[in-house]
Structure 1
Amino acid sequence: MSEQGFFKRTHRCGELSEKQLNERVALNGWVQKRRDLGSLIFVDLRDRSGLIQIIFDRELSTEAFEKAEMLGTEYVISVQGKVVKRQAENPNLPTGKIEVHADAMLILNAAETPPIYIRDDDDVSEALRLKYRYLDLRKPGMQRNLLLRQQVANHVRQFLTEEGFVEVETPVLTKPTPEGARDYLVPSRVNPGKFYALPQSPQLFKQLLMVSGMDRYFQIVKCFRDEDLRADRQPEFTQIDCEMSFVTLEDVIDINSRLLQSLFKAVMSIDLPLTFKRLTYQDAISRFGSDKPDLRFGMELIDLAPVVTGCGFKVFDETLNKGGQVKCITVKGGAEAFTRKDISALEDLVKTYGAKGLAWMKVQTEDIVSPIKKFFSEETLVQILAKSEAEENDLILFIADEPSIVAASLGFLRCELAKRLKIIEPNQYQFVWITDFPLLEYDDEAERYVAMHHPFTSPVDADVTKLDTAPGEARAKAYDIVLNGYEIGGGSIRIHNASLQEKMFRTLGLNETEINEKFGFLLDAFRFGTPPHGGIAFGLDRLVMIMAGEENIRQVIAFPKTQNAGCPLTNAPSPADLKQLEELGISLLSLKSDSNPPHCQND
């Protein structure tokens, strides 16, 4: 026994095998389960590496046996004993061919009955799991996820270092810049009335590193965005952030494709294709209704305008006359799989995306069943079947509306139906690069153009003049990498010319004073010689979530936030101490309710 009061560990529990037969070992860990058979006590001992069966025999050691009688679930113990062959092997356990016969044992810490079971199939609420996250993290599945995360981060660092990238840390307390979400603001005590912002990304600093001549930069970095949360989004998240000088779009796509291929091979033993598929933004929206399409299944959107224009069905005719679209998806086998009640429920779902309704046709043995069939001639029905490639027992679902609503509604619907029909093969990874994004999009509420990616993205060279004449038609040198329907990374070739960057800011509605206040330091840097540069940022959390086979990003983050950005474990966020607020020059105006944050002002 060491001075610390426990046996110095010789192995981890899950590392033992038949190679250690007849060896004397020392193990430390938690009691997963205890079974008392009278003269023998069986204990499953667990640590991060796995589980091993320990046997306490009164005849071998009365002292150790009597201590074992006191053990409960999650007691922390230290054990010494000999590795022997297990009489009844457990093929479901990596250590199932051996066990340890203990002759000495120390109880290092007793434990109360935990509020959640320490097993992967513990069916308790997520709120309870997050409240007792330190117990939840003892589960083998959670520990595998965190170990996978470490493997991914380590391999990324190794790959990028070998490719000539330099890891550089950038500030966490920085200046608010518009990047598409609300900033988290941090008041400055030494500069009363002024605020830092937590970075939404290291965007400007990594561009300044290119100005500095660093040439290739990367960082695995925390970022912060005060936005509404969902299963694959957190207020604080981790990016694999990269930037390179003297590169084209093709260079960025090449090196990052190789990074992903290397990563999946090293960590998951999966050989990805030598080249990933590519789609333009317009193709992705047109065919899949989304700029992050899931390519693991078909069910593409089909444009029916060529066969239904002037068909006489008022809904279709009026939509097309107003510049809208009529599109459908064909659900193979859907005629039997979905009842009218099911389709009605689907209609309610697409209405949340702005659709006014959902029309349908069932193709049966000798007939078409549909409430809209009567509005079409036999010739038009034949053309619809041909265009949609619908066959017997298929279901055709139609949306007629403005293009953005058609895309959003059918894009959601194809993914929802694929899940319900279980047509997505597990352990399949379909990557696709999306290119040729619009540079800008019009914000009706703000009555101005906003950047689709961010204001530092370079327009396609041929479209620079459109910033003056037709900003909405300008294309961006931007690209996203999509995996199984998730955007796992995105980037662009940046603007590196001060005059073009100023032109971009003005196109976005900023006046000269705003430009200088918010971005003067960047424009100043550009005037001292800036190389062409571009980069990308991967969402590490989202990437690991997919690799781990999880559907919720909180499963791969040690201490995540809930849907309302709270932490059940620490009860953060919490009220600030009055003295702290006074030091910061902040007073609280009012608290409307417990669910609303206080409005603050500077004294």
Structure 2
Amino acid sequence: MNAYRTHTCGQLTAADAGETVRLSGWVHRVRDHGGVLFIDLRDHYGMTQVIADSDSPAFAALEKLRAETVVRIDGRVKLRDAALVNPKLPTGEIEVYATDMAVLGPSDDLPLPVFGDQDYPEETRLAYRFLDLRRESLHANIMLRSRVIKWLRDAMWDAGFTEFQTPIITASSPEGARDFLVPSRLHPGKFYALPQAPQQFKQLIMVAGFDRYFQIAPCFRDEDPRADRSPTDFYQLDIEMSFVEQKDVFAAVQPVIQGLFETFGGGRRVDADWPLIPYSESLRKYGTDKPDLRNPIEMQDVSEHFRGSGFGIFAKLLEQDGTEIRAIPAPTGGSRKFADRMNAFAQQQGLPGMGYIFWRRKELPQVARHNRDHPLFIEAERRVLNEELARQIKERGGPRAAWYSVDFMADQPDGSHLEAAGPIAKALGPEKTEAIRTQLGLGEGDAVFFLGGKPADFEAVAGRARTEIGRDLGLIDENQFKFAWIVDFPMYERGDDGKIDFSHNPFSMPQGGLEALNGDPLKVHAWQYDLACNGYELISGGIRNHTPEIMFKAFELAGYGRDEVEKRFGGMVKAFRYGAPPHGGCAAGIDRIVMLLADEQNIREVIMFPMNQRAEDLMMGAPSEPTNEQLRELRLRVLPKDA
């Protein structure tokens, strides 16, 4: 017999009844039923119930076991009574009657429970990550991650891509985040960098003549943490292809990602229609470049309805250049209670509130229902609804029903009408209010919220408000994955210091080539694209700049002189002078993909040993202070914090 086990804890079935077996694992839970012990024994593969009564030679030793002690148990496989079968376990038809037991690894009192999925402080969970990983949900997430990576690797090989590895120690490169620098002992005063991505190397692989590359690549960025991003390192499916346009990259990537989500999505629908949405349109409609298309809400520009209107706040705002009023429809959100809730949300975002209008049904007076043939009433129903018409009706002594209809708009066949409520409705008047309702396609029980100013100042909040409205009103279909390619990113942006800089990947080809770079940089679009899914960016990529002169000009506009480009990217520039093919690719964030597939909200739930939000490894004690000897060897000196 094997020294530790004949079977795993997920292996025994009814077919093994009567067999003598040896199991090893962790004591998951002990239940004492008055002279009969039930022990759930757990290993990587599953769970087996062990039973012992007072006649068992192992009873006395088993009675003393603590949770999470590692034990070896010998025993005999028995069928459970029919009423006690556990259909949730593969081993649920059997139990093992213990005849012998040995402790292989005793356990102290636990700092956090492993049994169950109780919430526990994240700092404790990360400090004892080896215990946290024993919990069923986290163990399942990590196994899902491994299966996803294997699936991706197989799918890429099947699609004709070849896997290559690129260096981990390299030179610093402007990839949009801070580098992790590595001091060189052999070259005092000089530093290597951990790669933010294998960007330059994968392009050089294309120049070297290898056609379709992929890699499950570790990447390192010194970033501020958030729920969907690791603050130090992450893994991506890195892809590059030669002799391709944007559409060719999309055609290669979609079957892989769609197949992955169909395989591991847990039965959730995977939309096969991946629209191409220009970056500017995405910001305008959704307030973000990673829209959640499960949410049907699309924002619209309603500036013209407020320009010169009676709502002075927005009317005055629109007198300034570059401002607009954006409407966020809220189907079924037409109540004062919901409006108050969204105002509270806006205040949490640092705004004084959000303007709104909502529509409700109101009964018409009885006289209105008997004067539908009156000429003035008919005139009102033609939607020529303005203050002047209302004044004329009143002056000419028309029936109250007529001007009532003018004041409150859309009259209904059942003798009722829609009433627009809220301070903005009163200030705008019925004509403009009705025009907004018609433009947005809203009706009874619906609402609309407004934000105004320069789009760059309010779009992000508007996007969050759109998400909040969709979630609160139950408009988001949680049972599906919806994808969209976001395209036509701006090549450049103006920083807070007024200088022009790259807005995305600096190695992307500008649309229009060198000629486009001779005009206004802020109007240049790049062959740059992202793949958004359910409100997350999963993929970023582009068609690369493979021509030295275009590269020099592109970097010149961002403040890099020719000498600086030669110095920082000399390897690529030199390679491009010796015959570089048109090429492009992308990278998919594996951590974020697994987070979506596992239906988790925090990326740390799918990473085996993550850092905390302060970029600390609480288990290993990183980052740590170097010894004086290490610093002397590297010829470095650490300045005091207040220096």
Q: Is TM-score (shorter-chain normalized) higher than 0.5?
A: yes
Deviates more, 1:375-384 or 1:262-271: 262-271
Q: Choose between structure 1 and 2 for higher RCO, CA contacts under 8 A separated by at least 6 residues.
A: 2
Counterparts in 2 of 1:171-570, with a 5 A limit? Answer: 171-234=167-230, 235-268=232-265, 270=267, 272-321=270-319, 322-336=321-335, 338=337, 341-351=340-350, 357-366=353-362, 367-445=419-497, 447-461=498-512, 464-570=514-620
- 1:564-600 C-alpha deviation (Å, 9 max, x unpaired): 11111122111111111111111122123xxxxxx7x
Give, in angstroms, the shift of residue 467 of structure 1: 1.0
Cα deviation 1:346-372 (Å, max 9, x = unaligned): 221343xxx675211232323333123
Equivalent position of 1:108 in the other structure: 104
Residue in structure 1 matched with residue 67 of structure 2 by the alignment: 73
Q: Give, as a single letter, the amino acid of the residue that structure 2 aligns with 1:166.
A: T
Deviation at 1:54, TM superposition (A): 0.7
Shift, 1:339, TM fit? 5.0
What is the RMSD of the two structures over their aligned residues, measured on CA atoms? 1.9
**Residue identity in the other structure for 1:204:** Q
Note the C-alpha offset of 1:443: 1.5
1:337 shift after superposition: 7.4
* Aligned-residue offset at 1:274: 4.1
Q: CA deviation at 1:155?
A: 0.8
Cα distance in structure 1, aligned partners of 2:190 and 2:338: 60
Matched to 1:103, the amino acid is T
Could you tell me how far apart the structure 2 residues matched to 1:329 and 1:308 are?
Answer: 15
Deviation at 1:97, TM superposition (A): 2.4
Q: 523-532 vs 380-389, which deviates more?
A: 380-389
> Given residue 130 of structure 2, which amino acid in structure 1 is its aligned partner?
Y
> After the TM superposition, which of the residue ranges 206-215 and 15-24 deviates more from structure 2?
15-24
Aligned to 1:25: 21
Judge conservation of contact 1:319–1:402 (CA < 8 Å) in 2: no
Distance 1:119 1:169 in 2: 40
Distance 1:102 1:252, change over 3 A: same
Q: Secondary structure at the residue paired with 1:66?
A: helix
Give the counterpart letter for 1:427 in structure 2. Answer: N
Extract unaligned runs of 5+ from structure 1.
593-598
Distance 2:340 2:124 in 1: 36
Deviation (angstroms), 1:246: 1.0
Partners in 1 of 2:342 and 2:154 — Cα distance? 51
Secondary structure of 2:469 counterpart: helix
Residues paired across the two proteins, number: 582
Rounded to whole Å, the distance in 2 between the matches of 1:531 and 1:28 is 57
Provide the residue aligned with 1:595 in structure 2: none
Q: For residues 530 and 105 of structure 2, what CA distance do their matches in structure 1 show?
A: 50
Report if the CA contact (8 A) 1:458-1:493 is conserved. yes
Give the CA deviation at 1:241. 0.6
Q: Counterpart of 1:596?
A: none
Structure 1 residues 265 and 181 mapped into 2: Cα distance closer, same or farther (>3 Å)?
Answer: same
TM (norm. structure 2) is: 0.87
Q: Distance in 2 between matches of 1:218 and 1:502?
A: 28
Q: Which 5+ residue runs of structure 2 have no aligned equivalent?
A: 363-418
The answer to which of 81-90 and 123-132 deviates more is 81-90
Match status 1:15 vs 2:66? no
Q: What is the rounded CA distance, in whole Å, between the counterparts of 2:207 and 2:101 in structure 1?
A: 62
In structure 2, relative to structure 1, the CA distance for the partners of 1:217 and 1:109 (3 Å cut) is same
SS class of match (2:619) = coil
For residues 563-602 of structure 1, what are the structure 2 equivalents within 5 Å? 563-592=613-642
1:586 alignment partner, SS class:
coil
CA contact 1:257–1:275 (8 Å) conserved in 2: no
SS in structure 1 of the partner of residue 172 of structure 2:
coil
Q: More deviation in 294-303 or 529-538?
A: 294-303
Match for residue 85 of structure 2 among 68, 85, 89: 89
Query: Percent identity over the alignment?
Result: 40
In the alignment, the residues of structure 2 paired with residue 33 and residue 542 of structure 1 have an alpha-carbon distance, to the nearest angstrom, of: 33
**Counterpart for residue 151 of structure 1:** 147
Structure with higher Rg: it is 2
